A and B are shown apart, each in its own frame.
Chain A
Amino acid sequence: MIVTILIPTALRQFAGGQLEMEVEAGTVGEALERLVSANADLRKHLYSGADTLRNFVNVYVNDEDIRHAGKLETPLKDGDTISIVPSIAGGMVAAEEEAFEKKELPALGNDEIARYSRHLIMPEVGMEGQRKLKAARVLMIGTGGLGAPLGMYLTAAGVGHLGIVDFDVVDASNLQRQIVHGTKDIGRPKIESAKDRLQDINPHVRIETYEIRLTSENALELFREYDIVVDGTDNFPTRYLVNDACVLTGKPNVYGSIFRFEGQASVFWAERGACYRCLYAEPPPPGLVPSCAEGGVLGVLPGIVGAIQANEAIKLILGGGEPLINRLLLFDAWKMRFRELKLRKDPDCPVCGERATIKELIDYEEFCGLRPQTNETGQTLVEEKLEMEEMTATELKERLDRGDDIQIIDVREPNEYEIARLEQAKLIPLGQVVNRAAEIDPARETVVHCKAGGRSAKAIEALKRAGYAGRLVNLKGGITAWSNEVDPSVPKY
């Protein structure tokens, strides 16, 4: 397509005095690229990064602002006219402006200059960017799979103030992916272990630890202290809590989530675009989406997704590049594929929409269906809730030793059965248990187990609903409890 670019007065001397230039190009981005490759001095006045237009530079095709069309990808037709128009912004002076724009950026010492040299030599970061990083306050929720690379990269990058929230302790099964913790840390509180490692990476960072469970009571107060919140949580109630608290305090929420081989990342910032609820107004029914403890996760996956979150948090601090606002990044580690979905702010969003109904934090456990609902008089609604018998591992052992006739059904997956099993158990994975109910003898007492007791409870419920008439007992705490209480030679995983 042959199009005409009108060159503004202010830039003419950098374009050989031309008033306009004809170029052949398919998109606006290509046309501008032709213009600046023919007139190299123009580039710095139009672009701030490699291919990002300066934020005050606007481009029109005929009379349409390309921001309302396809941005730099806007297609061109023969005879189109491209106008380059700055919005003229001015104002604020020295002292006042300094305080506002730069939050009185702290200076860097010589040891910091040496440490951050690979950042400093890039104009996109430079001294100012590095000082912005030093001035930044980032709050990280969770020091698990996502929090490990996140914390390490944010600390290494020189984020001045990092808050970390976690109340868990390091378990051997964490170490396959939570690389901020080490073998020597098993049994220690995660925030202590993480703080040691992070402080070792970069002693210049101020690390504030909060050994608390994030709740509706403490979230707002905590979030207000920080510029950016990074969500490394692994459950729906906390994810909705983090989202809503970010919307209510106006903070950007750098989101990541992982399951098995798949990850997601985005930046939810209600002031600039969609929030998590615009994407998922309501959580999935409890139990539909298994947690990593139930479904497993490839150890390197949170490393990749967490590093993407760290990257986005750093870009938000620098104020450059193209943030993941209104974009949901989907990653499949098994296929090694990235996809991207466009997000839109939902005008009817209950928390960030025009007529938002949520003005304060709610009970997120209840919202996610994880707490039995209560009626107005405070009585628990037990609607449809089926009675379930339970047995502890110790009791089961005693019964078996007495020679009681008990059949044991293991509803885990075959690969889990390979890791650890109870000798007498028959394997029928949860997904097949209803179809294979005929393999369970209703005349005998049956104990159902899984890893920790959740899936076996579901299996019992499903069997009862399907009309299974025999006696079903759930093994409390699953095979893990068996290993703890009865036989430590059964490995825990």
Chain B
Amino acid sequence: MILIAEPQQAEIRRHGEAEYPHECCGLLIGHFDEGGRKVVTEIYPVSNAREEQARHNRSLILPEELMRGERHARELKLDVVGNYHSHPDHPAIPSSFDLEHAWPTWSYVIVSVKQGKAIDLLSWELEADRSRFNEEKIEDRLAASS
């Protein structure tokens, strides 16, 4: 399970809408609680490094960007717990391309943006044997902690 506060979920949707028809991407920074749940405390947008023509259907966070994000997280005594990207005009379901390029533990949050409007926001976690993605419940962090 991943806990993301409603305003931060809205931030991801807004990022997806702003980049439409291209994909947006970013990191999720937070920590693991005692129950192993991921708690997101900060959304860290990243510029999409794909060249212009491929940007509508591919997102990429360069390793340098990720290292910067990790450094930023460490300064806050936090971790990178996942990342997000948008699927313009497609459902918020991971593709086999996503599967091929994923690591376990992290949350892969996908927002579908149809005609410029963010629709679904779903989170996915890779099965440990890399065979598939499992949908993961997103809870409103503020609601869950109260």
Contacts and interface: CB of A to CB of B under 8 A. Distances in A.
Contacts of B63: 58, 60, 65, 85-87
Contacts, number: 110
A89 to B, nearest CB: 4
Interface in B90-115: 90-91, 93-98, 101, 103-106, 108, 110
Contact of A93 (B83, B91, B101, B130): B91
B59 A91 contact: yes
Interface string A23-62: 0000000000000000001001100000000001010100
B97 A90 contact: yes
Interface in B71-129: 79-81, 83, 85, 87, 90-91, 93-98, 101, 103-106, 108, 110, 128-129
Contacts of A101: 96-97
A336 to B, nearest CB: 40
Which of A41, A45, A87, A90 has the most chain B CB atoms inside 10 A of its CB? A90
Contact of B81 (A9, A88, A90, A92): A9
B60 interface: yes
Contacts of B101: 56, 86-90
A88 B67 contact: no
B93 A94 contact: yes
Interface in A83-113: 83, 85-94, 96-98, 100-101
Which of A8, A10, A14 has the most chain B CB atoms inside 10 A of its CB? A10
Contact of A10 (B67, B93, B105): B105
Contact of B59 (A65, A83, A89): A89
Interface string B54-74: 000111111100110010000
Which of A13, A45, A85, A93 has the most chain B CB atoms inside 10 A of its CB? A93
Nearest to B80: A9
A127 interface: no
A371 interface: no
A11 interface: yes
Nearest to A59: B63
Contact of A41 (B67, B98, B108, B128): B128
Interface string B23-52: 101000000000000000000000000000
Contacts of A87: 60-63, 66, 101
Contacts of B67: 60, 83, 85
A12 interface: yes
Contacts of B58: 89-92
Contacts of B62: 87
A91 B23 contact: yes
A258 B67 CA distance: 48
Contact of B23 (A9, A12, A90, A100): A90
B94 to A, nearest CB: 8
Nearest to B79: A9
Given A9-B80, A9-B105, A41-B128, A85 B97 contact: no
Nearest to B66: A85
Nearest to A9: B79
Contacts of A65: 63
Contact of A44 (B25, B90, B129): B129
Contacts of A92: 57-58, 87, 90, 95, 97
Contacts of B94: 90
Contacts of A56: 101
14 contacts: A10-B80, A11-B103, A45-B103, A45-B104, A85-B63, A85-B70, A86-B101, A88-B83, A89-B101, A92-B58, A92-B87, A92-B97, A96-B90, A97-B95
Give me the 6 closest cross-chain CB pairs, A-B, nearest first: A93-B90, A88-B61, A10-B103, A85-B63, A90-B85, A58-B63
Given A9-B81, A97-B97, 7 more contacts: A58-B63, A87-B63, A89-B60, A90-B25, A90-B60, A91-B58, A91-B85
